[in-house]
Chain A
């Protein structure tokens, strides 16, 4: 069929872009968790994921659809994380490339076991006492800054950080127990 070439838009890449978006969005959480193993502060991890997204898009023409996207993307994320950690004085400075590599490799090795361990995280969150649940939800889900949360609840910032630590420990205990029960059941 005859087709006027001028009628076929070719000067824009949005279809590629949409394809990229789909792939990226499907991997985004895993990239975030991968990066967070190295740079745990949520805002830092988010920054690194953002830089990773830009880097991935620049190199997207080199991505071979025959390979799974997430591992390809994680290589870029590791590179971005290294760059970030080298500049970071509070935590990154003490990690060093050796420990970064060890942690990244060990996390990959733990892959399936991580999923099993956290399979019951949702249930465990539901089981938290209401006050703890409210705290964890405000902090993680609504992203309320701790200072603001302290103001709103009349607690000190230190007390809130301590509370968060306790909640996380309770959750770890809960998921570990649930995993053990799963193991015994099967």
Chain B
């Protein structure tokens, strides 16, 4: 055999296709040993073949959005490669982790060239369409309905996407996610630049970044940029807009309008990991037990878990646990009416919240309606991002610079997570105490004391004054006694969805 020659080309091709004959193999190998030019030609030709066999993206027009709408079903039967793996698996039976890897491979390998994305991690994810969120499970062009939990995918180009229930979506290619409903947070490395999320009301093209897309049940959508830059448009007729870090846009009915960034709206990869580990550690079961105990506490005034339907202007989102509900407030006028009653000298308020960092606005956790009546209770996160408790009192105090008590630490962080907020009001001892994530934060002495009076009120927008709420409220607990530090800590521990904090 010589190089170059038809014989050489034919042998090379036969090696790639697996049809090579013994004599051909021998001649080719001998030639490669002797001739460095033939060796290079072999390596280049084989590289072409290997790229074609492994790089899905090659088959789509660069930058085109019309990727792979073909729906050729893949054979369900295992390939020879996968069958051959079983004996090796058996040898490795003691190594559970090796089996895990092999299982990943058996699920994914025979079509790794064709999977648009794979499951990287699941936190209680359940689908309504027989899709199992097993690690490594491949996704092609299929519509999925995520009923519970959250799941992280990695696309063939390395973009990671965390989708939170309730959601309906479809990877139309490795570079294109169609999100019909739900929340998706994407992080795209340079190789995945151009990763696009299409919603019923627009599309978002990544330019190397970290961003989130939230599609409401009505089909309106929002895009929030946390890092880098994206280009967004509210449909084909609408102009493309560039969005940078900390900017957000609402897309609805062919129009795009700027909106405030919702810093805590999305679950990102690091949080998902903590949620997944928390679930594995049995946190949800422990929480349910503790809720049963809490509900038997004779001092309990109210326990709102938002799993029951309520009036008001807000929407439902997932709570801390897969399949549970939280009230989500996204617009300035959103609110939830509440109805409490009673007068008490001791009051504990506690809630699991996921708050956006909203500068220049007061996030209202609870506002009773009859402010200017003694004892009315207002609990909020103030403009300075500190938790504040105001109990209305008409009596004169001899200090003109008196302010309502507040926490010393900031309540909201740049990237929102589930946070436990609690405050204890004690009129007898004339103190207000604040707790963040179960930890005692601050105690403030009250100049005067008046029993707290509970009546009808609102979470969120309180129309008597400019009050908003931006974020989610999962659980609101109200007791007519002052819980101790350890009781508050236990309340936090029992409800903490994360493995660690």
Partner of B13, one of A37, A90, A102, A161: A161
| Residues of A close to B45: CB separation below 8 A | 168, 172
**Segment from B92-100, B367-375, B415-423 that makes contact with A:** B92-100
Residues of B65-79 whose CB lies within 8 A of A: 70, 72, 79
The smallest C-beta distance from A53 to any residue of chain B, in angstroms, reads: 5
A121 touching B17 by the CB < 8 A rule? no
Assuming the contacts A106-B40, A137-B59, A168-B13, asked whether A41 and B18 have C-beta atoms less than 8 A apart, the reply is: yes
Q: CA–CA, A102 to B35, complex, Å?
A: 12
| Residues of B close to A89: CB separation below 8 A | 22
Partner of B79, one of A21, A43, A102: A43
The smallest C-beta distance from B240 to any residue of chain A, in angstroms, reads: 24
User: How would residues 1 to 40 of chain A score, 1 for a CB under 8 Å from any chain B CB and 0 otherwise?
Assistant: 1111001110011110110111001101100110011001
Assuming the contacts A54-B88, A165-B10, asked whether A172 and B48 have C-beta atoms less than 8 A apart, the reply is: yes
A40 touching B46 by the CB < 8 A rule? yes
B114 touching A143 by the CB < 8 A rule? yes
The smallest C-beta distance from A95 to any residue of chain B, in angstroms, reads: 6
Partner of B18, one of A33, A43, A57, A171: A43
Assuming the contacts A41-B18, A46-B81, A161-B19, asked whether A58 and B46 have C-beta atoms less than 8 A apart, the reply is: no
Assuming the contacts A46-B81, A141-B113, A165-B10, asked whether A53 and B51 have C-beta atoms less than 8 A apart, the reply is: no
Partner of B9, one of A41, A96, A99, A165: A165
Interface flag for A136 (CB, 8 Å): yes
Assuming the contacts A18-B273, A54-B88, A103-B43, asked whether A175 and B105 have C-beta atoms less than 8 A apart, the reply is: no
| Residues of A close to B288: CB separation below 8 A | none
Residues of A105-125 whose CB lies within 8 A of B: 106-107, 110, 114, 117-118, 121-123, 125
B22 touching A107 by the CB < 8 A rule? no
* Nearest-CB residue, chain A, relative to B84: A47
Interface flag for A184 (CB, 8 Å): no
The smallest C-beta distance from A143 to any residue of chain B, in angstroms, reads: 6
How many residues belonging to A are interface residues under a CB distance threshold of 8 Å?
Answer: 76
Interface flag for B56 (CB, 8 Å): yes
The smallest C-beta distance from B73 to any residue of chain A, in angstroms, reads: 10
Interface residues on B, range: 35 or more
B59 touching A9 by the CB < 8 A rule? no
Interface flag for B280 (CB, 8 Å): yes
| Residues of B close to A136: CB separation below 8 A | 52
B33 touching A99 by the CB < 8 A rule? yes
Partner of A102, one of B39, B59, B70: B39
| Residues of A close to B109: CB separation below 8 A | 46, 49-50
| Residues of A close to B48: CB separation below 8 A | 118, 121, 168, 171-172, 175
| Residues of A close to B259: CB separation below 8 A | none
Q: CA–CA, A32 to B40, complex, Å?
A: 18
B121 touching A18 by the CB < 8 A rule? yes
The smallest C-beta distance from A147 to any residue of chain B, in angstroms, reads: 12
Of residues B47, B105, B135, B273, which shows the largest number of chain A Cβ atoms within 10 Å of its Cβ? B47
| Residues of A close to B47: CB separation below 8 A | 33, 36-37, 107, 114, 117-118
* Nearest-CB residue, chain B, relative to A146: B17
| Residues of A close to B29: CB separation below 8 A | 94-96, 99
Interface flag for B44 (CB, 8 Å): yes
| Residues of A close to B97: CB separation below 8 A | 13, 17, 57-58
User: How would residues 161 to 175 of chain A score, 1 for a CB under 8 Å from any chain B CB and 0 otherwise?
Assistant: 100110011011001
* Nearest-CB residue, chain A, relative to B281: A9
Q: CA–CA, A153 to B25, complex, Å?
A: 30
| Residues of A close to B296: CB separation below 8 A | none
| Residues of A close to B39: CB separation below 8 A | 102-103, 106
Interface flag for A51 (CB, 8 Å): yes
A40 touching B50 by the CB < 8 A rule? yes
A99 touching B283 by the CB < 8 A rule? no
Q: CA–CA, A162 to B79, complex, Å?
A: 25
Q: CA–CA, A175 to B52, complex, Å?
A: 13
A9 touching B33 by the CB < 8 A rule? no
* Nearest-CB residue, chain B, relative to A117: B44
B40 touching A42 by the CB < 8 A rule? no
A37 touching B46 by the CB < 8 A rule? yes
B53 touching A140 by the CB < 8 A rule? yes
| Residues of A close to B500: CB separation below 8 A | 3, 8
Partner of A40, one of B15, B21, B101, B136: B15
Interface flag for A63 (CB, 8 Å): no
B residues neighboring A (CB under 8 Å): 9-10, 13-22, 25-26, 28-30, 32-33, 36, 39-40, 42-62, 70, 72, 79-81, 84-85, 88, 92, 95, 97-98, 100-102, 104-105, 109-114, 118, 120-121, 135-136, 154, 158, 273, 276-277, 280-281, 283, 286, 439, 489, 493, 499-501
A residues neighboring B (CB under 8 Å): 1-4, 7-9, 12-15, 17-18, 20-22, 25-26, 28-29, 32-33, 36-37, 40-47, 49-51, 53-54, 57-58, 89-91, 93-96, 98-99, 102-103, 106-107, 110, 114, 117-118, 121-123, 125-126, 136-137, 140-143, 146, 161, 164-165, 168-169, 171-172, 175
Could you name 15 residue pairs across A and B whose Cβ atoms are closer than 8 Å?
A: A8-B499, A25-B158, A36-B46, A37-B46, A47-B85, A50-B81, A103-B39, A106-B39, A118-B51, A121-B48, A125-B58, A136-B52, A142-B72, A172-B45, A175-B48
